[in-house]
Amino acid sequence: MLVTAVKTTDQGGHHGLSFLIVERGEGVRSSALEKLGWHASDTAEIQFEDAFVPEENLLGQENGGFYLIMANFQWERLLMALGAVGAMKVAFERTREFALQRQAFGKPIAHHQVIRHKLAEIAVTVEAGRDVTYAALRRYVAGEDAAREVTIAKLATQRSAFDVIDTCLQIHGGAGYMKEYGIERAARDARLGPIGGGTDEIMKEILGRSLGL
């Protein structure tokens, strides 16, 4: 069973989108796509050819699918911000532990100023990301208009998460490049953040307009 957003009119842009439930079977084909990260989440190319969809499989109003998509965007973006904060925190804690155990020049690498400063900068980034994300979450849960705050949270956390985890990988050195430590997977998974749920560029555009620009 597939939930699809399909064009149901000849109108341009976002007009004429409808949500349909399409049963797998005759007229429906799919082929898996390989990707950089998020291997636990299946992604595939789906092809429809003369696939029959009964009227009762319409979700919501015909040609009103765009509004359903927009209604879900805020929660999706907020979830991505929360996920990025969690990923940064886990990467920081694992890297801190590694840096306290890994010895170089007679002492743990965490006690060398260059590593200590990098970890301090990461801690600031994690805390800042968490603060703006939790502020957006509070407004969203309270039923307030949190579009601006959610946009800021997503924009502030996604690229930061990738940069933080990349720094954590660097601190791990060659070990970070190995699958054993999990940092390389975290880096691959984090790269989707500035793309999925609305790219960084789209977030800047939304935020800029909310500022009257």
Domain ranges of the chain: 2-59, 68-210
Instruction: Name the average pLDDT for the chain.
Output: 93
pLDDT digits (tens, 9 = 90+) for 102-159: 999 999 999 999 999 999 999 999 999 999 999 999 999 999 999 999 999 999 999 9
Tell whether domain 2-59 is in CATH 2.40.110.10. Answer: yes
Same CATH fold assignment for domains 2-59 and 68-210: no
What are the counts of helices (DSSP H) followed by strands (DSSP E) for the chain? 5, 7
Give CA separation, 83 vs 15, 86, 108, 157, 192, in Å: 31, 5, 30, 9, 12
pTM attached to this predicted model: 0.87
Catalytic residues: 76
- CATH assignment of 68-210, among 3.20.20.70, 1.20.140.10, 3.40.50.720, 2.70.98.60: 1.20.140.10
What share of the chain in percent tops pLDDT 70? Answer: 99
Mean pLDDT of 28-33: 93
